[in-house]
Amino acid sequence: MSNSLGNNLLYQGFLTSTVLEHKSRITPPCVGGNSLFQQQVISKSPLSTEFRGNRLRVQKNKKIPMGKKRAFSTYPHALLTTDTSSELAEKFSLEGNIELQVDVRPPTSDDASFVDFQVTNGSDKLFLHWGAVKFGKETWSLPNDCPDGTKVYKNKALRTPFVKSGSNSILRLEILDTAIEAIEFLIYDEARDKWIKNNGGNFRVKLSRREIRGPDVSVPEELVQIQSYLRWERKGKQNYTPEKEKEEYEAARTELQEEIARGASIQDIRARLTKTNDKSQSKEEPPHVTESDIPDDLAQVQAYIRWEKAGKPNYPPERQIEELEEARRELQLELEKGITLDELRKKITKGEIKTKVEKHLKRSSFAVERIQRKKRDFGQLINKYPSSPAVQVQKVLEEPPALSKIKLYAKEKEEQVDDPILNKKIFKVDDGELLVLVAKSSGKTKVHLATDLNQPITLHWALSRSPGEWMVPPSSILPPGSIVLDKAAETPFSVSSSDGLTSKVQSLDIVIEDGNFVGMPFVLFSGEKWIKNQGSDFYVDFSAASKLALKAAGDGSGTAKSLLDKIADMESEAQKSFMHRFNIAADLMEDATSAGELGFAGILVWMRFMATRQLIWNKNYNVKPREISKAQDRLTDLLQNAFTSHPQYRETLRMIMSTVGRGGEGDVGQRIRDEILVIQRKNDCKGGMMEEWHQKLHNNTSPDDVVICQALIDYIKSDFDIGVYWKTLNENGITKERLLSYDRAIHSEPNFRGDQKDGLLRDLGHYMRTLKAVHSGADLESAIANCMGYKTEGEGFMVGVQINPVSGLPSGFQDLLHFVLDHVEDKNVETLLEGLLEAREELRPLLLKPNNRLKDLLFLDIALDSTVRTAVERGYEELNSANPEQLMYFISLVLENLALSVDDNEDLVYCLKGWNQALSMSNGGNHHWALFAKAVLDRTRLALASKAEWYHHLLQPSAEYLGSILGVDQWALNIFTEEIIRAGSAASLSSLLNRLDPVLRKTANLGSWQIISPVEAVGYVVVVDELISVQNEIYEKPTILVAKSVKGEEEIPDGAVALITPDMPDVLSHVSVRARNGKVCFATCFDPNILADLQAKEGRILLLKPTPSDVIYSEVNEIELQSSSNLVEAETSATLRLVRKQFGGCYAISADEFTSEMVGAKSRNIAYLKGKVPSWVGIPTSVALPFGVFEKVLSDDINQGVAKELQILTKKLSEGEFNALGEIRTTVLELSAPAQLVKELKEKMQGSGMPWPGDEGPKRWEQAWMAIKKVWASKWNERAYFSTRKVKLDHDYLCMAVLVQEIINADYAFVIHTTNPSSGDDSEIYAEVVRGLGETLVGAYPGRALSFICKKKDLNSPQVLGYPSKPIGLFIKRSIIFRSDSNGEDLEGYAGAGLYDSVPMDEEEEVVIDYSSDPLITDGNFRQTILSNIARAGHAIEELYGSSQDIEGVVRDGKLYVVQTRPQM
C-alpha cells in the first residue's frame, strides 16, 4: 500500500460486480472487485476519505457516501426539485417537451399521504400503471385503496386514468396504508400505444411519513451503506452531486430506523439486505463488533489489503461485511499488543499487519459471463468522405512559400560549391536566420556560415572530438581577425561583397584540416548580447550520413514536399528533446492542414520514425517531464481540433495520435519526476541503477521509461532474476547500448533486497500508471481512468492530480469498461472481444462530434483497438480446434474492429454484413453457406489489399523522401508501410482468412483449382508479379507463367503456353477468353502451398495436365519438351486477312440496313435477333455509324489539320515509335463533326424511337460526339494494336463501325457461354452475373461474378458454382452507349472481341455493393427464376443460330434484354 493511502485506494459502488470502478491495476484511484468496504467513517483520522464518482479525495472528518457509477441517461431523466408545498418533488423529462412532475404531500393526522402527478404537454389518454412497495419488499403489490376509475390490469398492476386539465393531465393518489414505502409506476399513452419508462425501468417515488417518535435508533453503518446502494440502484444509478449523496445516505438511515420502529430487528434487516437469514446460515454469524477502538477508515484499509491478497475476488454482500469485521478484529489484536493508533497506522501503511486469507482462484474460462451485445445496423458504421481534390493538394505542392533572404542565399551558395555538401542547417536567430553549410574535399572540412542579421556578429566557437565537447581550435585554421580564448575562439563575420551573389549577407568561412573533429559547437555575440539556439549552444555535425542520403531522396513527388523539407530543416532542433519535437510538430500543424491528406501523412511519417526510435530522442538538453507533457498536450489539442474540422482525414490523424502519446498539462508530467524520489525514499533504494534511472527521468523522460519500469517489475516478480530484466528490455527494443546512449546513461543493473520486494512492486505498479498516462496513447487502463476521472493527492513535495470525468458518456458505459477490465487477461478471448467492440460501438457517436475532451475519448478508442489486436493474437491458439462457424464469428469481430478504425470503410462494412449473413445461413442449415462464405472471404481479401495499396500510395513516398533526408535506415524505409499495416487489425484478419480458406474450400467441395482453359501444356516456369508487365513480351521457349496478379483485361504474351495465378479473374473475362482462343492452359490456384511449390520450380520444365477440378503437374526433361505438341508450328496469320471497308455513302443507318459491308458482326447479330427471340427477351433498339464514316470525317475539309497530324503520327508508329499510339488517340478526339453526319444520325435515331442527345442541348450532343470519337480512337489501344501485330494483320485495314444503342439501366448484367468453356461440355450452359452494368464482368474489375451452370435438358434447375465477390457495381442513368464494332472482332482465328472500347455518353457511377440486401443472393426463389430465365434465353439463341454462342445481356426489373451475341470461340 502507498504511504499516501488516499492516493492508491479506490472505492466503488458497493455489493455488485457490475458497478465496479477500475481495477487496482488501473491508474492510482481505481480498485477492482467489489467496491470493497466503504464503511461510514466518523473519525478524526486524517485518512478519512470522501468518494466522488470514480475519484478519491483525502479530507478530514468527512463521511464516505455510497459508491456509485456515472450514469448518462436518455429520456426520461429524473431531477430532484424543491417545492414549498410538498416535502418531495421530482421532475421527469419524458420526451420532446413532455414533462412529468410528482409531488408527495406529507401525511396529516390521519396518516394519509398524497401523491400528485402532473403531465405537461402529453396526449389526451394517459394512464398510471402502478403498484405499491411495502417496507422490506422488493416487488410491488396492489393496495386496497385507489382512485375512482382505477382498473386491475391482469392481476399485476392498477391502471388509473389521468384527468385532462388544459395542456396538463393530472392525478392524485391517497395512500392510507402506513406499511407502504413507495409508489412504483409506468405511464401508458393509449393514444400512441406507447409505454413511457424511466431509463428502461420503472419510476419509483418514495412516500413521506411523519417523523417516528421514540428512542434514537442506532443502525450499523455497513447496513446503512447497503441500503443507500440499493436506493441508488433503484433510482437508475444516477450521477449524484456530493450534496445529493449525503442526502441519500441519510435517507437510507431513516428508512432503516423506520423499519426498526415498526418492530424489525437488526438481524432481520441484515438478513433482508444480504438476502440471507439466521436459519439458512450454515455457520454461526461472526460476532458483530459494536464497540471497537479501531477507526473505520483503518478497518477499510485493512479490508482492502485482505481483498488484494485474496486475489481481488468478487465477494457477495454478506462476505464483504464479514471481511470488514475480520479486518477490524486483526487490527484490534494489534492494539491489544500495546501499540498506539499512530503506530498501527504506520504498520498498515507499510503492509506489516499479518493477515491470513484464502487465495481465490481465477474464474474458469469455461464459465465466462458474456455481455449482451446490442443489435445494430452495421450500415451506420460507414465512413465515406469525398476524395481530397488532387488539384488543391497539387497547388499546395506547386506553390511553396517565397524563399527568405538566407534560403535564397543558401540555394545560390550550394550551386557554387563543387564539393559534396555533408550538412546544411538554417537556424532561426532573433529576427533573422543563420545558415551553416558543411562540405568536404580532399580530407578537409569546410564550414560556411552566413546570416542576414543587420548588426555586426562575432562567432564564439570551438571544435569537438566527441559531440558537444568544447575544444579550442588549432591556431593554424583560425580565419583572419580571430582571437583565442580559454576553450574557444572568436571570429567576426564580414559582409559578403565579392562573390557575385544576389543576396548580400554577413558570412564566414572556416577550413578544418584535421579529420578527427566530429562537429563544431558555437554561439553568436552581438554587442553586449549572446545569441543562442533557443537557450542552448548551436552545434553542427560534420557527419556525412544525413546529407549524402539526400541524393537518394528523389524529387518528393507524391508528398507534401515543402512541409517535409521544413521538417528536415528542423530535425536538429527536434532531436534535443520530446518537448522540442512536439512543439515543432504543433507549429507545423497549420502547414500540414493546408497540404491536406499528404500534409498529415508527412506528420505521421515523422512521428512514426520517432516512435520506432529511428530518430534521436534526446540530445544535450535537460527538460522537465511536465514540459514534455505540456508539449504533448498542445500537439494533441491541435490534432483533436483537426479530427473535428477535417473528418476526411480522421484515420491518419488517429494514427498520429497513437504515436504521440496522451501527455497532459502540468501536474501529470511533473509526477514522473516527483514519484521516483518517493519510491526511492520509501523503499531505501537511492543508489545504483535506481539513482541512474532517476537522473535520466529528471533529464528527459521518454517512452523507454515505461519499458524500464516493466522490466523492473518483471525482475522483482521473478525473485530478482536479472535475466528476466534483460529479456523484457530486449524484447521491447532496449539494449545495453541504448541504456548507455542516454544523456544520463544507465550503467548499473538493479540489485534489490528481498525485504524490498512487496513495497517496490506496489510503488512501481503505481508509478507505471503515471508513466503510461503521459507516454502511452494505447494503454487501456490509463485511458479508461482518464475518461472516467480520478483524483490523486500529493504527498509532501509531490503534486496532486485531478482529472474530471468526461461528460456525456453513454448510460452503462462504465459497466462495460469494467467488464472489459475484468476479462482483459482471459484465455478465452471471444467474450473479451465482444466487450471491447461493444465499448467501441458505444463510444463511436461521441467521436463524431465536437467535445473539449475529444482527445481523451480518442485515446480510449485507440486503447480499445489496441487491446482487440492483442487479444486476437492471444486467441489464435484456441482457434486450433474451432469449427468454421467459430472462425467466421471471430473474423466478423476482427473485421468490425477494423471497420471502426478506418475511413472509407464501406467495402469493409459490407464484408462484415456478408460474414454475418454467412453465419446466419450456416446456422439456418442453408447448404450454400460455405460457398457464400468463400465469396465473402475473397471479397474481404480484396478489401484488405485495397487498403494496403492506399496506405502505400499515401505514406510510402513521404517515408522514402523524408527518411532519406534524415538518414533513416534503408531497411526501415523499405518496410515502413508494411509495418503500419501490421500494427493494425488488417494483419490479424488476413491470418484468420488464411486459416479459414482451406476449410471453406473443403466444405464447399471447391478443391484447390479453378480450371479456366483446360489445355495440356509443357514449358519452362517463369514467375512474374503482374501479367500486365509481360503482356507484350515474346518468349522464345514455351513458357508457363506463374503470375501473382491477373486482372482480366491483359493479353497473354507470345510463347506462353500456360498461365497459373492465385488471382480471381472471371471465367468469361477478356484474358480468359483469349486463353481459350489461343489454346493456352489457364487456371487459378487457391492453395498457397501448391502455388509456392510451382514458384519454387522456376526455370524448370513442367508438364501440366488439367482435369475438370485439378491440375496435375510433373517435371519433365528436354527430350519430352521437344516431342511436345507445344512445339508444333501453329497455322498462323498467314491465312488471316482483313478486307478494307469503304464508305457506303451514309453517315448513319438503321438496324434494317445492317449488312456485312456496312457493319460488323456485333451489329448484324443484334439486328438478326429482333423478332426471332421469345417475346420475354428484350432486344434494344439500335442504329449505327457504318464502316468508312471515320475515314470520311477525317477527309472532310474541317478536319484537314487533324488528318495531317495523324499522317505524321502513323508514320512514326510504322517506324516502331509505339509511344505515338497515345498521341494518335488524343489527336482523333480533336475531330469535328460534319453537319451531314449530325443530320443523318439525328434522323435515324429519332426514326428508330431513340432519344436524340441534341434535344437536351448542345452540350449533350458534344458528349455524344466525344463518345463516338473515343470508340474510333480505341483502334489504337496498345492492347488492340499489338494483338493485330502478333497475328500479322494489317492494322490499317481494320475498320470501325459504331453501334448506337439506348442503355438499359441494369439491375444485373450477364454473359452466357452456351457450351461450358471450362469443361467443353456442350450439354450445359455456363453463365456469370454481376450487379449493374456488364463492364465489371468483362473489364479489369477485381473479384468474381456469380457463376452457375444449367443443364440444357433441365433449364429450371440452375446450379450456383460461386457467389459474387466483386465489390463494385456500375450504374448509369438513362443514356446512350456507343459500341465498337470492327471488321476484326469475329474474324475466325483472331478474337478481336473486347479489344476495342464501348463508350457510354454519360459516366457510369461506381457503387460499392451490399450483397446482404441483394435478392439475387438472399431470395432463393428470385435467384432460381432469374438464373433459369438467363439459361433459357441462352438456349433459345443457340438454337436460333445453330451453334454455341457468347451472349451478353442485362436484367431490369426482372425482364431480360440481350444486347449482343456472337459465336463462342
Catalytic residues: 1070
Query: Which cell goes with 1231?
Result: 475531330
d(CA 856, CA 863): 10
DSSP-assigned letter for residue 850 = -
Contact 225, 40 (CB under 8 A): yes
Which has the closest alpha carbon to 410: 502, 275, 272, 285?
502
Contact 595, 646 (CB under 8 A): no
Query: Which cell goes with 116?
Result: 400528485
d(CA 81, CA 88): 8
Which has the closest alpha carbon to 523: 573, 477, 461, 454?
461
- Number of helices and strands in the chain (H, E): 45, 48
d(CA 1089, CA 444): 58
d(CA 47, CA 673): 25
Strand partners, 803: 790
d(CA 650, CA 600): 10
Nearest-5° Cα angle at 1090, 1087 to 1096: 140
Contact 187, 129 (CB under 8 A): yes
Query: Which cell goes with 1191?
Result: 475515314
> 597-611 vs 390-398: helix axis angle to the nearest 10?
70
- The alpha carbon of 673 is separated from its chain's Cα centroid by a whole number of angstroms, namely 35
Which has the closest alpha carbon to 861: 891, 898, 901?
901
527, burial (CB in 10 Å: exposed 0-12, middle 13-18, buried 19+) = exposed
1258, burial (CB in 10 Å: exposed 0-12, middle 13-18, buried 19+) = exposed
d(CA 850, CA 844): 12
Residue spans of alpha helices (H) in 201-352: 221-234, 242-261, 266-273, 296-309, 317-335, 341-349
d(CA 1327, CA 1346): 8
d(CA 14, CA 68): 8
d(CA 578, CA 610): 9
Query: Which cell goes with 1270?
Result: 473515343
d(CA 47, CA 1376): 84
Contact 1043, 1063 (CB under 8 A): yes
One-character DSSP codes across 1333-1386 = -THHHHSS-SS--EEEEEETT-TT--EEEE-----EEEE--S-EEEEEEETTTT
Classified as helix, coil or strand, 1442 is coil
Q: How many CA atoms lie within 13 A of 1356 on its CB side?
A: 1
Greatest Cα-to-Cα distance within the chain, rounded to the nearest angstrom: 125
Which has the closest alpha carbon to 1380: 1298, 1262, 1267?
1298
Beta-strand pair 1182-1185/444-451? unpaired
> How many other CB atoms are found less than 10 A from the CB of residue 323?
23
Residue spans of alpha helices (H) in 405-544: 405-416
Contact 1143, 1400 (CB under 8 A): no
What Rg, from alpha-carbon coordinates, does the chain have?
41
